[in-house]
Amino acid sequence: DTAVSQTPKYLVTQMGNDKSIKCEQNLGHDTMYWYKQDSKKFLKIMFSYNNKELIINETVPNRFSPKSPDKAHLNLHINSLELGDSAVYFCASSQDRGLAGEETQYFGPGTRLLVL
Amino acid sequence: GESVGLHLPTLSVQEGDNSIINCAYSNSASDYFIWYKQESGKGPQFIIDIRSNMDKRQGQRVTVLLNKTVKHLSLQIAATQPGDSAVYFCAEGHTGGFKTIFGAGTRLFVKA
């Protein structure tokens, strides 16, 4: 009954490789996010999708490409991995943004990416 | 620019004492504030929120105080327990916006 799930939980890979992280939410939420958390625990938003449409795209290298096949899924593909990409990546979802004002986000367990 | 910051990066309290975690924000347009708790190895978890038309909101053992005049937010945890040990984040957003900005986090240690 996991509300927001991510796979894999751990990802160890070599520099230059391409990898994907998958995220699914079963909460019926309209909006999904990807965050990057560095070693100092700082959480920074990367992308946000609302009903499969990209609404936030922070200053993220274009090696990172989100894909939302449907409202319940938001995957993150990373090309040509670099050492600095090592971090914990969190997926999150929320009910609605805007008029409803419901902005509580539900986070997945995180994917720990280590680039060697 | 927008920023949400914390005064105390690490806080150590005795079990049973009350904890106060502080947060400063700079975006005057923010009207929604949230506290999240992140336990080791897990994702952040919602604790309590408050809107800008309020200055205090209480939950179970937690209270959030909002001072819009000085753009300050605090989280008070009553009778702190070992299970409260975690990193706490304040976050801000605004109605109609799609982005929540997270503060740097405060690590709370509870000593038994």
Mutation target vs B (from A6, A31, A43, A104; most B CBs, 10 A cutoff)? A43
Transcribe A58-116 into DSSP letters.
Answer: -S--TTEEEEEEETTEEEEEE-S--GGG-EEEEEEEES--STT----EEE---EEEEE-
Given a cut of 50, whether residue B2 has pLDDT beyond it is no
The three-state secondary structure class of A3 is: coil
Check if the beta carbon of residue B6 is closer than 8 Å to that of residue B105: yes
CA distance A50 to A53: 5
Cβ A50 vs Cβ A106: under 8 Å: no
Find chain B residues with C-beta within 8 A of A40's C-beta: 104
In the predicted model, is pLDDT for residue B28 greater than 70? Answer: yes
Give the model's pLDDT for residue B58: 97
Q: Label residues B17-50 b or e (16+ Cβ within 10 Å = b).
A: eebebbbbbebeebbbbbbbbbeeeebbeebbbb
Dihedral of CA atoms A51, A56, A60, A65 in degrees, nearest 10, equals 10
pLDDT in tens, B49-107: 999 999 999 999 999 999 999 999 999 999 999 999 999 999 998 877 767 889 889 99
How many other C-beta atoms lie within 10 A of the C-beta of residue A31? 25
Q: Does B25 touch chain A (CB under 8 A)?
A: no
d(CA A87, CA A92): 16
Predicted pLDDT of residue A97: 58
What is the predicted pLDDT for the residue at A53? 83
Average the pLDDT over A35-46 and give the result: 91
Any chain A CB within 8 A of the CB of B1? no
- The owner of tokens 């990416």 is A113
Q: Which of A48, A97, A107 sits opposite B44 (nearest CB)?
A: A107
| Residue B39 to chain A, least CA–CA distance (Å) | 10
Read off the pLDDT of residues A53-95 as tens digits, 9 standing for 90 and up: 888 778 789 999 999 999 999 999 999 999 999 999 999 998 8
Cα B107 from Cα B85, distance rounded (Å): 8
Per the listing, tokens 């504030």 go with B33
Residues of A with Cβ-Cβ distance to B9 under 8 angstroms: none
pLDDT of A50 > 90? The answer is no
Give B-chain residues touching A98 at CB under 8 angstroms.
95-98
Q: Is B52 on the interface with A (CB under 8 A)?
A: no
For chain A, say whether B34 makes contact (Cβ under 8 Å). yes
Give the residue-averaged pLDDT of A7-35: 95
pLDDT score of A100: 40
